[in-house]
Structure 1
C-alpha cells in the first residue's frame, strides 16, 4: 500500500469522532505507598469520569488534565482544517500525491494520539484535591470546560490510532530489517577478517621462505668454499682445540680471525692448495691481500701484500717522515724490540712451557714443536703470530714516543730445514704484515735475523738450546754457506722500492757467540754477507753484533765498510760483578760507565765507529722465571744450575750476598714502594741518555706475559718507564740518590 504499511482511509474516521477518558486520581502520601498507611487517615479516592455529554458532572478536572485537553482540542482543530483542504484539492490532485498527504496526516494523528496516551496516565497520578475545595468549584469549572470543548472541537473530526495488530506488525518488520542489516554487517566483517588472515598467512609464508633461503646461503656458501678450497692434509687445518677460542669464527680456515678470502678457490692451482700460499689455510686474514699469487722476489713470496703503499707518515715531530732520510748519528733513534713473537723466548711467553713436566724436556721452540707435532704446531704457532703482536701494538709503540722497531725473526720462516720441527714459512707472511703496520704509523724497521741455520749461539732464543753448529762442527761450513744464500734472497726481496724508506736497518745475525767460535771465521762471514747484501742493491744500514767481545775490542776491525753499524747489548744482570752492585752503584754505572763506552765506541778514532744498542732493559736482577733457561734458577738467589758446573752460580749475588730474594722484583708492581719505582725509572732514563751518545737504543722488549721489568708497555703503565720516550725527567747531570741511606734494601 502506498504511503506506508499502517495508513488508514480518512473517510472512516468519523465513527471515532468522540472519545472518552476515564481518569482515576489517587492521592498518595509523600512518605510511601498508600497501602502502608491507615485507611482512616488517608483521604478517599474519588473516581472521575469525563465525557463530552456529561455537562452536569460535579467533578473538578485537575489542572494538568485540563491543559492536556486544551492542547488536544487545538490539534484536532488543525487536523480538521487540513482534511478540509485535502478534500477540496482531491479532485485535481495526483493520486500518488493524495495518498502521500493522507499518509502524512495519518502519521500526525498517530503521533498526537501516542502523546496523549502517554500524558493521560501521568495526569491520573496527580494527588487528589481536598474534597471540600473540589465541591465548591467543580460545577463552575466543568461547565466552563464543556463550553470551550463545544466551541473548539468539530463534530465530524476523528483520531485514528494504530491498532495493536498494526503496531506489532510494524515492530516485527523493523526487528526483521534490523536483524538482516546486522547479519549483513557480520558477514562483511567476517569476510574482511578472513581476507586479512589470508593476507597475513601469505606474508608469513613469504617471509619464512626468504629467511630460509638466506639461512641456507649463509650456511652452505662458506662450507662449500672451505670444502673446495681446503686440503684436509694441510698442517694449518689440523690439530686440537688450542687454536680455537674467543677469536674463532673467521680467517681462511674458518676458525680464525678476519674475513674469509674473497678469491675464488678454483683459481688456486692444485699444487698450491693446502700450502702456506693458499689463503684458505690462513688463520688470520686481517689486512692481508687474500688473492692467491705465486709471485716471488728473490725466491720469497709476496703473499698477502697489497700493490700500493704510503711513506708519508711521521711518527712524531722529532723525526722526519718516512719518505725523508733519517739522520743517524745526529738524531738518536729510540726504539723497542718485538721479542718473543716470530721466535719464542721462554721468559717472554712462559705459558708455552710451564704446562709441561720437566721430564719431557720442553725448553725451547725446537723441543716444543717437536713434542706437539706438525699439525698442532701449525695451529698453536700461527695463532700466536696472529694475536701476540697486532696492529694495536704498533699504534701503542708510536704513542709512547718511540720511532723504531726491531723485529727478530728466524731462518725457518725464510729457508726452513726439512728435518726441523718448526712451523715453516707461515711466519713470513706475518713479518711482511708487521712491516706494513709499522709503515702506517711512521715507524722505521730494523730487521734482525735472530736464528740461523745450525745455531749461532746455542741459547733458547735462537730456537734451539745447546746447539752451536754454525761455523762450528761438522756442518758448520755448510750452515754458514746456507745462511749466506738466505741473505742473498732476503736482500733481493727487501731491495724492492717499497722497502727503501721503511727497512732502514738490516741485521746479519743476532748475538753470534764469538767467545765460542773462531773470531776470524765470524769476521770473514760478516764481510761476505755485507758484500752480498750491498751487491743486491739494499741500501739500508747493515748491522752486526759485537759477539760479547767488548766495545773496546772492535777498534780497527771491519773498517772501510760504509754503512756498517756495530750492535751491542747492554745488561748488568748476566755478569756477577755488575749484578752485585748496589742500586746507587748501578745507576752511577749506567751514567758514567756506559756513557763513556758508547761515546768512545761511536768515535772512529777511538772505537769501531757507528754504534747502537740493539737491546737493554731496566731489570737489575735475573729473577724472572725462565730468563736463564726453563727449569733453572737465578744468579740473584744463587740457585742457577747449568749442565756445565763451571757455569752454575750457587752463591746469592745481591749486594752483600745475604737474604737475596726475587719476591719483590717478580711481584705485583702495584705493591712496589715509591723508592723502588724511582730507582727503576732513573736507571732506565740514565741508560737511554748514555746510549743516545751514540746512535741510540732499542729496549728489550715491548711486551711479556708476566715480566713487568722486561716489558716497555707494562713499565709505562707501572710508572717505571717514561710516558713519552723523548720527555724524561732524570739526567746524568742530576745528583744520584743514595738509595741505601734512603732506606731501600739491597736484597731486591
Structure 2
C-alpha cells in the first residue's frame, strides 16, 4: 500500500534522542554544555546513567496512547548520527573523548517503533543531527559549528545512518518516512544539498520501496522554487517536501502584534501553500510549527530585546490570542499533506508544548 496519500497530523518527539537545552534545562544545570555533544563530552562517564534515565522518563508508552486517543496519527522522531553507536567520524568538539555519545539509543528507538505500531501511529524518522553539524544550532548536535558539508566523511556517515535505518525498519508497519537531513543551514550550497538528497534517496530505496516508505527532504531555509523540477516522478517516487514555519526568530516577527501573526499564518503562509501545491509537484508537510512567540524561552543565549505580541495581555486575552494563532496556522497547514507540532512536551513553556496547548484549550481536544 502506498502511504503517501495519508494526511499526517502529528507531533515531534524532540529532546528525546537529540537533547535541546531550552526544552530540558534541568539536564544542563551546573554544566557549561549547550548541546548533546558538549553535554556528553563534559559529563564523560556520568553521561550514560543520566541520559538513559531521561530516555526512560521523557517519552513513555502512555504518551503514545495519549496522542492516539486524541486522533493524532503520526510522530516525527529526531535522531542523532550517533544512534547506532561509535562508528562516527571524530570532531574536535569531542575533546579527548573519541566517542563521547551515550550508546543505547537504538533500543529506545526500537521501543518507540513498537509503541507507535501498538497505537496505530505512523513514524517519520528524522536525521536531526549529522556529523560535523549541518546548521550550527544546538538541535544539530553542536552549537556554533556548521561543518557537515565541508568533509566527505561527514556526508558519507550521514548516508550510512540513513541506509542502516532503512535496513532496520524496512518491514516495520509503523515506518511512514525517513527524513534525510533536518534543517541544513541556508548557506550550505544548494547543489551540494541536492546531490546529497539524491544519494540519500538511493540509499533508502535499497531497502524501502516507494510503495511502503516515503523519503522526506527539508527545504534548507530557501525558497521552494529552488526545487522546482527536482526529484519528480516517475524516476523518484513517494518524495515529500518539508518546510518549517515559525514567527519568533526574526525581528520583523518579534515586533508584530497578534493580528499580524494571525494574518501571516492564514494569509501569507496560505498564499505560499497555494504556490507550493500548484508549482512544486511534491506533496509537502509542515514538519515543525508551534504557538511560540517569545524568543527568550526558546533560545537561552539569544540577544534581546525580548518583546513579543502577548506581553501586555491579561490571561483571557492571552488565551484568545493563542487560540486564534493556532487556528490560523492549522487552517493553512491542513492544505498540506500534513503537519507536526514542535514539540510534544517541554519543561519550560506551554506555547511549545503540544500537550499543554491541548489541555489549556489553545489547540483542539480532538484531531480525528
Separation in structure 1 between the aligned mates of residue 347 and residue 158 of structure 2, nearest angstrom = 32
What residue number does 1:337 align with? 12
CA RMSD after TM alignment: 2.0
How far is the alpha carbon of 1:634 from its aligned partner? 4.1
How far is the alpha carbon of 1:325 from its aligned partner? 5.4
Separation in structure 1 between the aligned mates of residue 359 and residue 30 of structure 2, nearest angstrom = 28
Alignment match of 1:444 (pick from 110, 122, 135): 122
What residue number does 2:229 align with? 556
Q: How does 1:304-453 map to 2 (within 5 A)?
A: 326=3, 328=5, 332-356=7-31, 361-374=32-45, 376-416=46-86, 417=88, 419-424=98-103, 426-453=104-131
Alignment match of 1:503 (pick from 175, 178, 182): 175
Separation in structure 2 between the aligned mates of residue 438 and residue 379 of structure 1, nearest angstrom = 26
Separation in structure 2 between the aligned mates of residue 635 and residue 689 of structure 1, nearest angstrom = 31
Separation in structure 1 between the aligned mates of residue 305 and residue 342 of structure 2, nearest angstrom = 20
Q: How does 1:122-201 map to 2 (within 5 A)?
A: none
Separation in structure 2 between the aligned mates of residue 591 and residue 395 of structure 1, nearest angstrom = 31
How far is the alpha carbon of 1:526 from its aligned partner? 0.8
Alignment match of 1:636 (pick from 303, 306, 309): 306
Is the contact made by 2:127 and 2:162 (CA closer than 8 Å) also made in structure 1?
Answer: no
Residues 562-603 of structure 1: per-residue CA shift (max 9 Å, x gap): 111110000011122223222111111111111121122123
2:78 counterpart SS class: strand
Is the contact made by 1:545 and 1:567 (CA closer than 8 Å) also made in structure 2?
Answer: yes
Question: Greater RCO between the two (CA within 8 Å, min separation 6)?
Answer: 2
What residue number does 1:687 align with? 329
Q: How does 1:247-262 map to 2 (within 5 A)?
A: none
Separation in structure 1 between the aligned mates of residue 125 and residue 304 of structure 2, nearest angstrom = 31
Is the contact made by 1:523 and 1:558 (CA closer than 8 Å) also made in structure 2?
Answer: no
Separation in structure 2 between the aligned mates of residue 378 and residue 396 of structure 1, nearest angstrom = 28
1:576 equivalent to 2:251? Answer: yes
What residue number does 1:588 align with? 263
Separation in structure 1 between the aligned mates of residue 267 and residue 302 of structure 2, nearest angstrom = 33
Separation in structure 1 between the aligned mates of residue 221 and residue 14 of structure 2, nearest angstrom = 20
Pairs aligned (count): 355
What residue number does 1:697 align with? 339
2:288 counterpart SS class: strand
What residue number does 2:159 align with? 484
Separation in structure 2 between the aligned mates of residue 327 and residue 461 of structure 1, nearest angstrom = 27
Which one has a bigger Cα radius of gyration? 1
How far is the alpha carbon of 1:481 from its aligned partner? 1.4
What residue number does 1:141 align with? none
Separation in structure 2 between the aligned mates of residue 530 and residue 325 of structure 1, nearest angstrom = 17
1:520 equivalent to 2:198? Answer: no
Q: What stretches of structure 1 of length at least 5 have no aligned partner?
A: 1-323, 638-653, 665-671, 727-748
Is the contact made by 1:343 and 1:365 (CA closer than 8 Å) also made in structure 2?
Answer: yes
1:722 equivalent to 2:358? Answer: no
Alignment match of 2:205 (pick from 522, 530, 534): 534
Is the contact made by 2:81 and 2:131 (CA closer than 8 Å) also made in structure 1?
Answer: yes
Separation in structure 2 between the aligned mates of residue 422 and residue 554 of structure 1, nearest angstrom = 35
Is the contact made by 2:167 and 2:208 (CA closer than 8 Å) also made in structure 1?
Answer: yes
1:712 equivalent to 2:363? Answer: no
1:407 counterpart SS class: strand
Judging changes above 3 Å, is the alpha-carbon distance between structure 1 residues 537 and 505 closer, same or farther for their aligned structure 2 residues?
Answer: closer
How far is the alpha carbon of 1:706 from its aligned partner? 2.1
Separation in structure 2 between the aligned mates of residue 711 and residue 461 of structure 1, nearest angstrom = 17
How far is the alpha carbon of 1:622 from its aligned partner? 1.2
Is the contact made by 2:296 and 2:302 (CA closer than 8 Å) also made in structure 1?
Answer: no
Separation in structure 1 between the aligned mates of residue 63 and residue 208 of structure 2, nearest angstrom = 31
Judging changes above 3 Å, is the alpha-carbon distance between structure 1 residues 485 and 392 closer, same or farther for their aligned structure 2 residues?
Answer: same
TM-score (norm 1): 0.46
2:348 counterpart SS class: coil
Separation in structure 1 between the aligned mates of residue 2 and residue 12 of structure 2, nearest angstrom = 22
How far is the alpha carbon of 1:326 from its aligned partner? 4.1
What residue number does 1:267 align with? none
2:260 counterpart SS class: helix
1:373 counterpart SS class: helix
1:455 equivalent to 2:128? Answer: no
Residues 478-523 of structure 1: per-residue CA shift (max 9 Å, x gap): 211122222222222222x3x1x3101111111111x221211111
Is the contact made by 2:4 and 2:214 (CA closer than 8 Å) also made in structure 1?
Answer: no
How far is the alpha carbon of 1:619 from its aligned partner? 1.6
Separation in structure 2 between the aligned mates of residue 401 and residue 547 of structure 1, nearest angstrom = 30
How far is the alpha carbon of 1:558 from its aligned partner? 3.3
Separation in structure 2 between the aligned mates of residue 552 and residue 636 of structure 1, nearest angstrom = 33
Separation in structure 2 between the aligned mates of residue 423 and residue 518 of structure 1, nearest angstrom = 32
Judging changes above 3 Å, is the alpha-carbon distance between structure 1 residues 581 and 632 closer, same or farther for their aligned structure 2 residues?
Answer: closer
Is the contact made by 2:44 and 2:100 (CA closer than 8 Å) also made in structure 1?
Answer: yes
How far is the alpha carbon of 1:608 from its aligned partner? 4.5
Separation in structure 1 between the aligned mates of residue 3 and residue 157 of structure 2, nearest angstrom = 32
Is the contact made by 1:545 and 1:566 (CA closer than 8 Å) also made in structure 2?
Answer: yes
2:23 counterpart SS class: coil
Residues 447-503 of structure 1: per-residue CA shift (max 9 Å, x gap): 11111111111110121111222112xxx11211122222222222222x3x1x310
Judging changes above 3 Å, is the alpha-carbon distance between structure 1 residues 612 and 635 closer, same or farther for their aligned structure 2 residues?
Answer: farther
Q: What stretches of structure 2 of length at least 5 have no aligned partner?
A: 91-97
Separation in structure 2 between the aligned mates of residue 535 and residue 326 of structure 1, nearest angstrom = 18
Separation in structure 2 between the aligned mates of residue 711 and residue 346 of structure 1, nearest angstrom = 15
